[in-house]
Amino acid sequence: MLKQNLQFKLSQKLSPQQIQLMKLIQLTTMALEQRIKEEMNENPALEGDLESNFDNQDEFAGDDNDDFYGEQSDYDEDNSIEADDINIDEYLSNDETPDYKTQTNNFSEDDDDKEMPYAASVSFHQDLINQLNTFILTDDQRDIAEFLVGSIDEAGYIRRTIPEIVDDMAFTQGIYTDEKTVEEVLYIIHQLEPSGVGARDLQECLVLQLKQKTPTEATSLAIDIIENQFEAFSKKHYDKLLQKYDLSQQTLKKVIAEIEKLNPKPGGAFSGNQKQTEVIIPDFIITIEDDQLVLKLNGRNAPDLIVSKDYKDMLQTYKATEDKSSSQKEAVQFIKQKLDSAKWFIDAIKQRMETLYVTMNAIMHYQEKYFLEGDEVLLKPMILKDIADMVGLDISTISRVANSKYVETPYGIKLLKDFFSESMKNSEGDDVSTIEIKNHLKKMIENEDKRKPLPDDKLADLLKDAGYPIARRTVAKYREQLDFPVARLRKKM
């Protein structure tokens, strides 16, 4: 039996503008520049000069942000407003300067960062191919050699077996050969620089590098140990090696020193590697002036974006035309859509700047003692909710601001999310940051006797004596987060 009934339901839906803003807030400075370029390519009504930004800028005026956090903007992709209902005057203005640019302190153009030219370099794989030209190879050998070079990853390894390589060459390249021939060509690859390139595992990589060294007693013994006792060596079972080879501790130390000089990732040593070096662009800059903290937002977050004058002129022409055709009315609706899109994108950029600034300003004042002195012991426990309560924004917004953002401080460039930490009670009942505990643990491990490294339960006892009563499993978790192995693997002769 069918029944009809009325049901009232209250739901909240994000507008396109809110979604746009949330995505923009999460972007880093470099990613924002790319996003703006994409928007300018898609929307001809948006114009700007991304190269003319000043370096830094001071605090922003606190405008009403309801258009983005509450009410929806006028723009809607499904807008069906008639052309005659459009108020043309709203879109006509002689002001060519974005309003958010007038809310900051302008800096001299002399302060602009100058672009540094990039040197053209040969890629890692091309360098290996060039080295092959010094060898006398048949056509078949060269085809196999080039395929093997193409199979080398950025670390310098070939992560595949010989049978797999033979099958792959037959199916994908039409090169038919056998395992013996591939082994012979691989021997040639192993003679290329950097030493150890083309190895199939770490053991082979170390042996290749040792064999290219000047033969000495230590290198010969090192080759024997890596080839025949690699598992015992990698697990640092030094007592077994001393007994197996009837060595003195001094001799074994020399062997270990030879092995430690080797590069486990030979591909990474190539100076012309095609992988670009990542450059961190800080989103915020904190300085100390007259014992006071000063926060600035990287000027690259404030591009010179304006609404296209050509599109405004089109509207002006339409307004002055008495007899408007249907095609003109369709055109003006399209122009309005693009202008609206450009206007609220510019507004979203402004809102992003203000949100980033107020959030970082709250973090700076919350951790004021640290930013003034640089001692990580002064870092207070801080969670997202603490900052959200201070600035009156949602926790998710604070999380987006902290995501992948960096701040330049007098003590170096820091990852913003590293300032957030949980709190724990010390032996005196005071709240301390887990960052403080991790730093204390790090110093303990770095200063331990490497011949008898401290196990986790001993570390827990020492931390308790220092006033940090935490469990052994917590110590193990922090140790792993600090990227320290277990005590056995930290052992040295």
Give pTM, 2 decimals: 0.53
- pLDDT given for residue 389 in this prediction: 92
- Given a cut of 50, is residue 19 above it in pLDDT? yes
Instruction: Grade residue 63 by pLDDT with cuts at 50, 70 and 90.
Output: very low
Same domain as 183, residue 75: no
Round to whole Å and give the CA distance between 177 and 443.
56
User: Does residue 300 fall inside a structural domain?
Assistant: yes
* H helix or E strand, kind and range, residue 286: strand 284-289
**pLDDT, tens only, 396-413:** 888 888 888 899 999 888
- For 86-132, write each residue's pLDDT tens digit: 554 555 444 444 554 444 444 444 444 444 444 456 788 888 888 98
Question: Looking at 342, 377, 409, which one is the last position of a domain?
Answer: 409
Q: 186 CB contacts (<8 Å, ≥6 apart)?
A: 148, 158, 162, 198
- Are 90 and 336 within 8 A, CB to CB? no
**Average pLDDT over the chain, rounded to whole?**
78
- The number of C-alpha atoms within 13 Å of 32 and in the hemisphere containing its C-beta is 31
Stated length of the chain = 493
**Which of residues 345, 377, 409 is at a domain's end?**
409
Residue 265 belongs to domain spanning: 124-269
Q: What number is the average pLDDT over the span 206-220?
A: 90
Same domain, 204 and 181: yes
Greater confidence, 472 or 51?
A: 472
**Other Cβ atoms closer than 10 A to 262:** 19
Asked whether residue 103 is domain-assigned, the answer is no
Per residue in 236-250, pLDDT (tens digit) is 888 888 888 888 888
**Does residue 109 sit within a domain?**
no
Quote the strand ranges of 290-397, DSSP E. Answer: 292-298, 304-307
Q: Which of 439, 418, 422 is nearest to 431 (CA)?
A: 422
Nearest CA-CA partner of 147 in 177, 173, 179:
173
Q: Is residue 82 domain-shared with residue 144, that is, in the same domain?
A: no
Whether residue 150 sits in one domain with residue 286: no
Predicted local distance difference test score (pLDDT) of residue 363: 93
Number of domains in the chain: 3
- Domain holding 431: CATH number? 1.10.10.60
| Domain endpoint, select from 269, 297, 325 | 269
Better-scored residue on pLDDT, 306 or 203: 203
> Do 363 and 453 have their domain in common?
no
Is 179 a domain residue? yes
The answer to whether residue 277 sits within a structural domain is no
Is residue 261 helix, strand or coil? coil
Give the pLDDT confidence score for residue 23 in this predicted structure: 81
Strands 412-415 and 284-289: unpaired
88 shares a domain with 43: yes
Query: pLDDT band for position 307 (50/70/90)?
Result: confident
* Same domain as 189, residue 220: yes
- Residue 66: what pLDDT? 41
Given this model, what pLDDT does residue 13 score? Answer: 57
Query: Residue 476: pLDDT above 80?
Result: yes
Supply the pLDDT for residue 209: 92
In a domain, 193, yes or no: yes
Give the mean model confidence (pLDDT) for residues 21-43.
82
Average pLDDT over residues 280-297: 89
Same domain, 247 and 198: yes
* 327 and 459 assigned to the same domain: no
Q: What percent of the chain clears pLDDT 90, i.e. is strictly above it?
A: 17
- Contact criterion met (CB below 8 Å) for 367 and 382: yes
Beta bridge partners of 407: 284, 414
Q: Among 267-271, 389-393, 443-447, whose mean pLDDT is lowest?
A: 267-271
Q: Is residue 325 part of a domain?
A: yes
Whether residues 288 and 391 fall in one domain: yes
Q: Verify that 245 and 293 share a domain, yes or no.
A: no
Q: Which two tokens stand for residue 298?
A: 């990287």
Is 110 inside a domain boundary?
no
| pLDDT (0 to 100) of residue 50 | 56
**What span, in angstroms and rounded, lies between the C-alpha atoms of 238 and 77?**
70
**What pLDDT was estimated at residue 65?**
42
Cα separation, 18 vs 31, in Å, equals 19
- Same structural domain for residues 154 and 248? yes
CA distances from 178 to 137, 166, 440 (A): 17, 6, 57
